[in-house]
């Protein structure tokens, strides 16, 4: 393994609001690589310059940073300049993927199904947006992950306050139609779409707490979706990942309505790899252990 991969940096931590999640993901990846005999080492770019990667003789990078300055193309661009191969999507796909607004606009242009949405700012007609999208609705910052800053507006007149809260995280804020018959995710590994996971949170919605802290969130994998519908969703997932320039691995989240129609929600270009994470769960459904999954992702740098 040491000859095959050389010296591997697990890029984890960082300075975004998802730092703690990245450290959890990175810890799991590092342990898996070490267990498989890879010469792997933790590397936190918030504590030392990326130039140290070259100076210390690293051959490749397992990139498991989440959020801005890790998943948005900036670190990817720096690694390109350093000439170091890395896991996950490149500069373009990472930059687009973290930006929910630009992702939606691309998907919309391709004719892919997405929930209705509006861009919200301080001058918006909040009442008109509530009427147009209906209640409840979701408000979210455009460039945060892990449900950071996401608010469910359930009562008339609540959009203004939700916007004020979400705008603390990003100057771009989206109001989005509520689709209420289930939240799902599709893991993409190379050219393969893994079995879908259905998420059933005990909380109001699949928020940060439900994702990483609570143990009462239920996951169904493979998700109970008819084969004919699964095939269509998988095709849309592949198109959604392709149009942003996705490669290596990623995750596309989607919703279902009561009529069984699916709506693409967002894309993750550096999915979580914690004990609660969805990607390893989908991999297990096709007989891929956590350690084998980590190696398969690392193989994409060869």
Catalytically active residues, by annotation: 18, 146, 212, 251, 253, 266, 268, 272
* DSSP per-residue codes, 210-225: HHHT-S--EEESS-S-
CA separation (Å) from 105 to 245, 265, 300?
14, 12, 29
Instruction: Give the pair of three-digit tokens for residue 234.
Output: 């998988």
Which residues of 49-193 form beta strands (DSSP E)?
A: 60-63, 117-120, 137-141, 151-153, 173-177, 183-189, 192-193
**The total number of residues written for the chain in this structure:** 302
Residue 64 and residue 10 in contact, taking contact as beta carbons nearer than 8 Å: yes
How does DSSP classify residue 55? H
Residue 79 and residue 61 in contact, taking contact as beta carbons nearer than 8 Å: yes
């Amino acid at each position: 393994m040491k000859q095959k991969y050389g010296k591997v940096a697990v890029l984890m931590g960082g300075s975004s609001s998802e730092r703690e999640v990245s450290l959890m993901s990175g810890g799991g990846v590092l342990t898996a690589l070490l267990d498989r005999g890879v010469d792997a080492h933790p590397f936190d770019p918030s504590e030392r310059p990326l130039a140290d990667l070259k100076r210390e003789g690293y051959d490749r990078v397992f990139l498991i940073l989440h959020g801005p300055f890790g998943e948005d193309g900036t670190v990817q661009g720096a690694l390109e300049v350093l000439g170091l191969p890395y896991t996950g999507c490149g500069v373009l796909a990472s930059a687009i993927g973290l930006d929910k607004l630009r992702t939606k606009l691309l998907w919309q242009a391709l004719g892919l199904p997405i929930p209705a949405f509006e861009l919200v700012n301080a001058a918006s007609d909040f009442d008109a947006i509530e009427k147009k999208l209906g209640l409840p609705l979701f408000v979210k910052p455009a460039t945060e992950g892990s449900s950071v800053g996401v608010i469910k507006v359930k009562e008339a007149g609540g959009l203004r306050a939700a916007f004020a809260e979400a705008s603390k995280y990003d100057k771009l804020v989206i109001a989005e139609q509520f689709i209420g018959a289930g939240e799902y995710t599709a893991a993409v590994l190379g050219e393969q779409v893994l079995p879908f996971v259905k998420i059933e949170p005990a909380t109001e919605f699949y928020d940060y707490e439900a994702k990483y802290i609570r143990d009462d969130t239920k996951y169904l994998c493979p998700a109970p979706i008819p084969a004919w519908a699964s095939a269509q969703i998988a095709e849309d997932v592949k198109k959604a990942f392709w149009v942003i320039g996705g490669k290596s691995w990623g995750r596309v989240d989607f919703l279902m309505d009561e009529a069984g129609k699916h709506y693409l929600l967002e894309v993750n270009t550096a999915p979580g790899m914690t004990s609660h994470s969805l990607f390893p769960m989908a991999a297990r459904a096709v007989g891929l252990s956590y350690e084998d999954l980590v190696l398969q992702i690392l193989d994409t740098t060869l």
